[in-house]
Structure 1
Amino acid sequence: MARVLSPARPRKLAKVPFVELADGRLQGVVSSGSDIGRVYVSSVAAGSFVFACSTNNNRPCGGARGMFCNHILTMINEAVLQYGATRVARYLRVETDPEPTGQAIASAMSATAPAQGDSGAAATVFSQFLRHLAYLELPPTTAPLPEMQWFPPTRTVV
């Protein structure tokens, strides 16, 4: 059974509607500051800090040229709000202070001169984001969802 952890602090979903620690990466979707119809799919690999940032239609981010762009920095800060700085730093395998901040995590990763990678993960991350959005369109119900049927049944004690 998976534990559900409450967010470390509440965060605003308008700028970063989706952020997760999964598949060996910090990954998420960041809204564009200039175009309401555009989002950026960003990721940073744990350990190597290889990063990628591209639009939802797979165009490379203009700000990610050899260093973290603002989308990635925003995603790191939102991940810290969602999961807590210690958990994000531990997941990404970043050596920081005992009480790190989002800025400290980004600075520690930048100090290692991370490489820009391809955006191969972008399609997977964006697909997961769209799947999460689909749940918002479902009508409220207490009936079980078919895709959640993999949960083990509860035991009844007689």
Structure 2
Amino acid sequence: MIDRSPDGAAVWEQHSRVRVVPPVQPRKLAKVPFVELADGRLQGVVSSGSDISRVYVSSIAAGTHAYNCSTNNNRPCGGLYGAPCKHLHALAAEAVLQYGIGRVARYLQVDVPEGASLMGCLSGTHESAPAAVVFSRFLRHLAYLEVPDTTVPIPELQWFPAAGVVR
């Protein structure tokens, strides 16, 4: 249920901040430091198991389940041999921890029977997807970790229009 103000707008729409929903289960951020359901994809950044300076941008499209995995400098993942690589499996596992299997399955538009794995229910094929936007968003999130705690508005977020303001 969404809390509503007297004018009918959702309460969260009248604030400059949105309540952060905690993860369904605790996550280990070392392997998959960034995961999101955005732009019609489950997407995120997955650390390389062999090179500490390399990360992969992995994604699975909603509906078609087309998948992609490439390094942060757009080189294709060597593990894509006609099936999703280990980075995509790690991304899906962390998304389930973050959002819960039900929410991820609904977003990807897939039925996951009780006890089945999310990746086992997907039937997509490899298809190139943009990695730069996801990696850029990840870097922006990292920058927010360095912002000191404050109760005052952050200037770069002030461009959001206030509800009900007509200009």
**Into which bin does the TM-score normalised by the smaller protein fall?**
0.7 to 0.9
Look up the equivalent residue of 2:105 and give its one-letter code: A
**Alignment gaps of 5+ in structure 1:** 154-158
Name which of 105, 118, 122 aligns with 2:118: 105
Distance 2:81 2:133 in 1: 22
TM-score (normalised: structure 1): 0.86
Task: After superposition, give the CA deviation of every residue in 1:68-123 in whole Å (9 maximum; x if it has no partner).
Answer: 000000000000000001110111011121x455xx210010xx3x211113x201
Give runs of aligned pairs for residues 44-63 of structure 1, distance below 5 A.
44-63=60-79
Deviation at 1:144, TM superposition (A): 1.3
Structure 1 position 144 matched with structure 2 position 144: no
Look up the equivalent residue of 2:118 and give its one-letter code: I
How many aligned positions are there?
146
Q: Which residue of 2 aligns with 1:117?
A: 127
Partner SS for 2:94: helix
Partner SS for 1:134: helix
Q: Which residue of 1 aligns with 2:49?
A: 33
Q: Which has the higher helix share?
A: 1
Distance 2:139 2:55 in 1: 12
**Alignment gaps of 5+ in structure 2:** 1-12
Give RMSD over aligned pairs: 1.6
